[in-house]
Amino acid sequence: MSKKFLLLTPEDGADILKSLAAPARLAILSLLHEKGPMNVNDIADLLELPQSSTSSHINSLETVGLITTESQKGRKGSQKICRAAHEEIVLSFSNTKQNQNNVIEVSMPVGLYSEFDVMAPCGLCSESGIVGFLDSPDTYLSPDRMRANLLWFTKGYVEYQFPNNARIAGQKVKELELVMELSSEVPGTSENWPSDIHISINGKTAAIWTAPGDYGDHQGKYTPDWWKLAGSQYGHLKSFRVTHNGTFVDGMRVSDVSLQDLALDEHRSIRVRISVPDNAEHPGGINIFGKQFGNYDQDIILRLQS
């Protein structure tokens, strides 16, 4: 199952928020979600709008990427078919910090992914309980996912969309760092259960780290008491750092992928995909620990050094 969400921040979402300010455009998006792909004439008829106004609203929505269109042959020439581009739109007032050393830091909750395609066994937990249903990829669609502090799946990926605040501030990035707590995933736990976890940034696979196991020998420092030892308790805090000289995991160079390959100046957001693909040598699943779970009280952190 693959679904797309759009994550906006006040810094980079002004154009989209402006487009959504018109009630008619919100009505068009709601109609496309309810009815599926439709042509312009049908949209105008159902919403009782002039066709010229409908076309103008559709052009605005298409310009900011909220809908996609294509021309298809009809009985009386071609017709423009409209589709909603995203299942969900989220406005995030993310925790963004900039310190005196020109480091911009964004903390992303583990449940605030913008796209996913996961395979069971899988699940989500908040600090107070299970989110949705265990081992159902459909649960990853739940709005309650935003409360998640722990997620896991066997194969597939989750993708996060970070604001490119360095680009907004007009700063050149010298180093990008991702910090997160990870482990493999096995029904129950096992200290010897390797899994090749792939980290991709803006479509480039920057690093592959093999998680050695899924740990349940003792309770994680921040893991809530209700989450029994039969479940994953904690992971390894990993640093993935991309510079002009390549990519490093915990200070060790692991690939040639550099900042130039990420083309940060060309993108208003930074897409981070965390995956265990089907063709991994060790497809041992993944746990991603956020606040209130594991040994480190943090979410997924992105740092941009300028």
Residue 275, token pair as written in the block: 């995956």
* Average pLDDT of span 109-137: 95
pLDDT at 76: 67
pLDDT at 82: 93
Residue ranges of domains in the chain, CATH in brackets: 5-91 (1.10.10.10), 103-305 (2.60.120.260)
* Average pLDDT of span 132-156: 95
When pLDDT is cut at 50, 70 and 90, the band that residue 18 belongs to is confident
When pLDDT is cut at 50, 70 and 90, the band that residue 94 belongs to is low
Q: Per DSSP, which regions of 213-256 are E strands?
A: 236-243, 246-249, 252-255
Asked if residue 3 has pLDDT above 80, the reply is no
Asked if residue 229 has pLDDT above 80, the reply is no
* Average pLDDT of span 285-289: 98
* Average pLDDT of span 111-117: 95
Contact 116, 157 (CB under 8 A): yes
When pLDDT is cut at 50, 70 and 90, the band that residue 112 belongs to is very high
Q: pLDDT of 202-226, one tens digit each?
A: 999 999 999 999 999 999 999 999 9
Higher pLDDT, residue 38 or 206: 206
Strand order in the sheet with 77-84: 38-39, 77-84, 67-74
Higher pLDDT, residue 289 or 65: 289
When pLDDT is cut at 50, 70 and 90, the band that residue 101 belongs to is low
Residue 123, token pair as written in the block: 């699940």
Question: 11: Cβ–Cβ under 8 A, 6 or more apart, which residues?
Answer: 96, 163, 165, 168
Helices (H), the chain: 14-20, 23-35, 40-47, 51-63, 165-168, 259-262
Asked if residue 306 has pLDDT above 60, the reply is yes
Nearest alpha-carbon partner for 222 in 142, 110, 297: 297
pLDDT at 77: 72
pTM above 0.85, yes or no: no
